[in-house]
Amino acid sequence: MLFRTTTQAVRSTLVLSSRAKSSNIKIENTSAAMLPYKGVDAAKRPVKVELTAGKTYSWCSCGHSASQPFCDGSHKRPGTTNVRPVRFSVEKSGTYLLCQCKQTENRPLCDGAHKQVNPRPASADAAEALMFSAASPVYEGVAYKLGYKTKNGGYQKP
């Protein structure tokens, strides 16, 4: 299993290196650029950004940043994500299409992966699967804050 993961990581690094050279992008922290998991989509379309040669940028790969497509440190909040930003610089100043769906294989550039992203948010599925028991302190706390009262062994809105 470890060999398989390592082989995939090496293959990803080679693909990333070849794509980065062709697009004049230099990745500063390749370990963040080749993580096997992706962040949540911030938008289902790329954004055009003017980038300056030689300047280092931090592309948000977790999808939680309020300053998309760049990192604002949101990934540092406890319990948010393990995904780290991809630090990069460009060799040539110009307009670049940066990914906002976070599913690209060519981080930080858009590769069209947003066309394959499910329009239904992942949180919709999570909400359907979420269930608390009536004795759960979490459930009681949420019910109380929402104004529900206990009635007939359950919670009802007054």
Its domain, for residue 128, covers 124-156
pTM, two decimal places:
0.60
Higher pLDDT, 141 or 18: 141
The per-residue pLDDT for 50 is: 96
Rounded CA gap, 106 and 144, in Å?
Answer: 46
Same domain, 63 and 111: yes
53 DSSP assignment: B
Q: Are residues 81 and 151 in the same domain?
A: no
Together in a domain, 91 and 48: yes
User: In total, how many domains does the chain have?
Assistant: 2
What separation, in Å, do the N-terminal and C-terminal C-alpha atoms of the chain show? 55
Q: 33 with 104, same domain?
A: yes
pLDDT tens for 40-91 read: 888 889 999 999 999 999 999 898 899 999 999 988 888 778 888 999 999 9
